């Protein structure tokens, strides 16, 4: 029993380490594309995968205590663009990004099933996808 617990902890630590390395690798790739908008000190998290896209969320804090959130789309591990100015974090479900705190009538979904929409309507505002 003790060996199983030790093995489980070992596997858990290895998985966390791999996820951390994946996060750092993707975050560094963004820095090469858009160094003015991103920093290694940013809060960066991978939200999930939809088809061949990896979806991440980044919070960049500016010097004047202002935060900008971005949903970043990677294709085959390379950053291809982002939706900027989105300060809430969605969940990934059924090939969509869903913002649980937004009402459906004002827009609460980014549907990636047919590709990346050039514009989305979220919480009463339009957001454009910016290619890198």
Q: How many structural domains comprise the chain?
A: 1
What is the average pLDDT value for the chain, to the nearest integer?
A: 83
- pLDDT classification of 41: cutoffs 50, 70, 90: confident
Is the overall model pTM greater than 0.85, yes or no?
A: no
> What mean pLDDT is predicted for residues 35-40?
71
Lowest mean pLDDT among 12-16, 45-49, 70-74: 12-16
Q: Which residues pair with 51 in a beta bridge?
A: none
- pLDDT classification of 3: cutoffs 50, 70, 90: low
Tell me the C-alpha distance between 68 and 87, whole Å.
Answer: 6
- pLDDT classification of 61: cutoffs 50, 70, 90: confident
Residue 124 sits at the vertex; the CA angle it makes with 42 and 131, to the nearest 5 degrees, is 50
Owning domain of residue 102: 2-131
pLDDT at 1 over 90: no
């Amino acid at each position: 029993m003790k060996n199983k617990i030790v093995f489980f902890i070992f596997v858990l630590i290895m998985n966390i380490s791999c996820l951390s390395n994946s996060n750092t690798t993707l975050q560094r790739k963004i820095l090469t594309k858009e160094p003015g908008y991103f920093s290694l000190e940013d809060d960066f998290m991978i939200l999930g995968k939809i088809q061949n896209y990896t979806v991440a969320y980044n919070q960049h804090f500016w010097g004047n205590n202002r935060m900008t959130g971005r949903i970043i789309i990677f294709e085959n591990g390379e950053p291809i663009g982002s939706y900027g100015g989105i300060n809430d974090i969605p969940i990934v479900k059924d090939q969509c990004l869903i913002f649980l705190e937004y009402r459906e009538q004002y827009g609460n979904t980014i549907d990636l099933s047919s590709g990346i929409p050039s514009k989305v309507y979220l919480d009463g505002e339009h957001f454009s996808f910016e290619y890198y």
